[in-house]
Amino acid sequence: MAVAKFDIPEMKDDIEIPKLREGAMSHIKSFPAPEKVQDFMGYPHELGEDWKERAIDKMGELLGKYRSLKVFLDACVHCGACTDKCHYYLGTSDPKNMPVARQDLMRQVYRRYFTTAGKLFPKLVGAKDLTQDILGDWYNYYHQCSECRRCSVYCPYGIDTAEITMAGREILNHVGMGQKYSNEILGKVQKIGNNLGLPGPALIDTLEGLEEDIEADTGVAVKIPLDVKGAEVLFITPSADYFAEPHVESLMGYAKVFHAAGISWTMSSHASEAGNFGLFNGNYETMRAVAMRIRDAALELGCKRIVVGECGHAWRVAYSFWNTLTGIGYGADDPFSVELQKQLDHNYPQPQHICELTNDLIKSGKIKVDPSLNDDLVVTYHDSCNVARASRMGTEPGGQFIIPRELIKSVVNNYHDMADGTIGEATFCCGGGGGVLTDDLLEVRVKGALPRATALNNVVKEHKVNFMAMICAICKAQFTKVLPMYGFDMSMVGGVHQLVSKAIKLEKAE
């Protein structure tokens, strides 16, 4: 498929605020979802005559359903604090990629149809009729937002542009303007069980191949079990872990951890995907349909614990939404959730992140590691947005920053953080999250990665960092593709459990 040529931004010593270039990214248009994909999702595939009415009705429905959306649309005072906080603005110079401007694309329409001042004096309050041009801007610029929430950290009112983006995409879907990439994936996961459309037999083959690789490498027969009834842990991980590089290295690391700790575990062919693109589309029914496969698998296999692998948005959905969506964790009270609550072992967090599990096992001495086995590496850590700003880990505030770093430092001897203001709560998105990880948005992805690439480059120059660890499948896929365009070697991108995998000590059977 032909991809438009574009300039790769120049990496400077510091992250600079660019001069405005009006319309710099207005040519970007993510491929629209074809008819059969929209049909499957229950959306129209083209604008009907009543598109405007449908859009306004949907907006009204969302405003009624999500109070936060109304508050965010009402509360902005245009103070400007968020304007230079979005990686897409920093990388593209397009003013419509400023968070406040992205919000205003919807706010102007909201004011026109849902506020008295906007109905009576539209010009005075910047209210505008919804037109096809505005709808086109929504499509372009709501697919140039990775829903990373960095802007909300700097907004004095906590306005979350990601929620406005999600609402925008939900309305676009309802008028027949769905995005091919996200909606195709949502179709595959609901039909087959994972985002890649990998059927059960192919999954079995893949896992057996990885078992052989581990045994060839270590001399130890480590199993990667699938659909084992009665296993203690149901392990849910992104499907990229099954075959993509460097993701598989982490999958082998998880398997070694379970093996070394003697924990019985299984993956599920029915729920072979941790990712949940329902979040990206802002459609809670779709998000629930995807998450329900995990509850079904937990009930079917009778597992006592649910552990989640390295995936940023999957962890956000698991940590922040599974309880009310599916009854994993507390919240839902339907009979299946009640049954699941009785089945799960509440001595453990439900769900639990794999980093927390591994970190606890190392700290308690239940598994042994030798950090010198990673002495060829000088490591830094990229906080993935959904973990950093939309979830937690462990029991302490900030655990989502502390636990992965503790874990890394227990398996490597050489570690350096990137600069403050680019990590932790202020972390820069990889540039490919939130439904942007598609080649038809490659220009957006490459330019949006500029702030992270700049921060990385500084620790490479200062500390000779040669490995950036992360716990997100999307970040891994994005960085391996775009960092080489900034001159980095793609092998410097990898998972935290890739490091664990190298350092862990496995006992050979007598």
Binding site residues, ligand SF4, CB under 6 A: 76-82, 85-86, 88, 99-100, 102, 145-151, 155, 157, 159, 161-162, 165, 429
CB of 505 to ligand SF4, least distance (A): 41
Of 444 and 473, which CB lies nearer to ligand SF4 in the complex structure? 444
CB of 431 to ligand SF4, least distance (A): 9
CA–CA gap between residue 267 and residue 226 (Å, rounded): 5
CB of 467 to ligand SF4, least distance (A): 26
3-state DSSP call for residue 392? Answer: coil
Tokens of 456: 């990385």
Nearest partner of 87 among 484, 459, 429, judged by Cα: 429
CB of 152 to ligand SF4, least distance (A): 7
Of 162 and 260, which CB lies nearer to ligand SF4 in the complex structure? 162
Write the CB contacts of 127 (distance below 8 Å, at least 6 apart in sequence): 108, 109, 111, 112, 115, 117, 118, 119
Instruction: Match 């598109």 to its residue by tokens.
Output: 51
Say if CB 173 and CB 45 are below 8 A apart.
no
CB of 11 to ligand SF4, least distance (A): 20
Of 150 and 188, which CB lies nearer to ligand SF4 in the complex structure? 150
CB of 86 to ligand SF4, least distance (A): 3
3-state DSSP call for residue 235? Answer: strand
CA–CA gap between residue 110 and residue 163 (Å, rounded): 14
Residue 77 CB: number of other CB atoms within 10 A? 11
The partner residues of 303 in beta bridges, in order of sequence, read: none
Of 80 and 397, which CB lies nearer to ligand SF4 in the complex structure? 80
CB of 26 to ligand SF4, least distance (A): 16
Q: Cis peptide before 246, with omega less than 30 degrees from 0? A: yes
CA–CA gap between residue 236 and residue 307 (Å, rounded): 6
Of 77 and 221, which CB lies nearer to ligand SF4 in the complex structure? 77
Burial class (CB in 10 A: 0-12, 13-18, 19+), 484: middle
CB of 278 to ligand SF4, least distance (A): 18
* Helix/strand number for the chain, H first, E second: 24, 7
3-state DSSP call for residue 352? Answer: strand
CB of 12 to ligand SF4, least distance (A): 20
Nearest partner of 405 among 397, 417, 395, 420, judged by Cα: 417
Of 6 and 154, which CB lies nearer to ligand SF4 in the complex structure? 154
Of 315 and 467, which CB lies nearer to ligand SF4 in the complex structure? 315
Q: Cis peptide before 32, with omega less than 30 degrees from 0? A: no
Of 371 and 448, which CB lies nearer to ligand SF4 in the complex structure? 448
Report the first-to-last Cα separation within the chain, whole angstroms.
54
Of 101 and 393, which CB lies nearer to ligand SF4 in the complex structure? 101
